[in-house]
Every structure is written in structure tokens, then in C-alpha cells.
């Protein structure tokens, strides 16, 4: 689900591996709208996807989240690390966590409902 909205991008020539979440793609945008309809502070631009992803991945793998840099923008969220085989493995795991997070809309919305006060919204 949301295959076109989440991409692992490997750029060894720029010493970078990124996972990009394009939150303005139709399906992901609609999911963000549903979350925002329930929680006014969860306006799901790139900055609030950053907050949600940091919260979710941090609960799954705090050590990984500590080593990933993020760069949210209005229409997308990006996480990145320098290029290495070890970091490629880590970023593939990061991508898997993000895909897991959005794999079930109802489960994600219920998780946001349960933890809305713990997430550091923009």
C-alpha cells in the first residue's frame, strides 16, 4: 500500500541514502486528512509526518531513530544517513517500519488516537 508514496533512494555519489515519504500523493494525502479530521494539531504536512514517523519508529527501534537524520518539508518527509552498506541495511529497516506504519489505516488512526498527546506535533 502507498508504494509510490514511499521510496528508498540510494545516492552513493552524494554519500546519501534516503527514505522519502511523499505525503501529497493521493492515498497518503487522504490518510493525512482523516488523521487531521480527528486531531486538529495533526495537520499532516511533512513536519507532522516527521513527528508521527519519529514517534512510531522510535517506539519500534529507538537506536535506529537516534541515528537517522530527518528533513521534513511541506509536501514530503525525508530521512537519511550517509552511504555505507551498514546504513543501507538500516535505511531498508527504516523504510519497512514506515511501510508497516501505513499498512493499515485503521490501526494507524487508532494508534494516533491513543498516543496523540505523546507525539510532538509541529
pLDDT digits (tens, 9 = 90+) for 90-117: 999 999 999 999 999 999 999 999 999 9
Residue 39 pLDDT level (bands cut at 50, 70, 90): very high
pTM: 0.94
For the chain, the maximum distance between any two Cα atoms, rounded to a whole number of angstroms, is: 43
- Is residue 77 a contact partner of residue 69, using CB atoms and an 8 Å limit? no
- According to DSSP, the β-strands at 69-70 and 16-21 are unpaired
Amino acid at each position: 500500500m502507498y508504494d509510490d508514496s514511499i521510496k528508498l533512494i540510494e545516492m552513493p555519489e552524494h554519500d546519501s541514502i534516503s527514505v522519502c515519504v511523499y505525503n501529497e500523493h493521493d492515498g497518503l494525502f487522504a490518510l493525512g486528512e482523516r488523521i487531521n479530521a480527528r486531531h486538529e494539531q495533526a495537520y499532516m504536512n511533512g513536519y507532522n509526518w516527521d513527528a508521527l514517523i519519529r514517534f512510531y519508529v522510535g517506539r519500534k527501534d529507538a537506536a535506529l531513530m537516534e541515528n537517522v537524520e530527518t528533513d521534513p518539508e511541506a509536501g514530503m518527509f525525508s530521512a537519511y544517513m550517509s552511504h555505507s552498506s551498514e546504513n543501507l541495511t538500516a535505511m531498508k529497516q527504516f523504510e519497512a517500519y514506515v511501510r508497516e506504519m501505513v499498512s493499515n489505516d485503521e490501526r494507524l488512526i487508532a494508534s494516533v488516537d491513543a498516543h496523540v498527546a505523546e507525539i510532538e506535533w509541529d
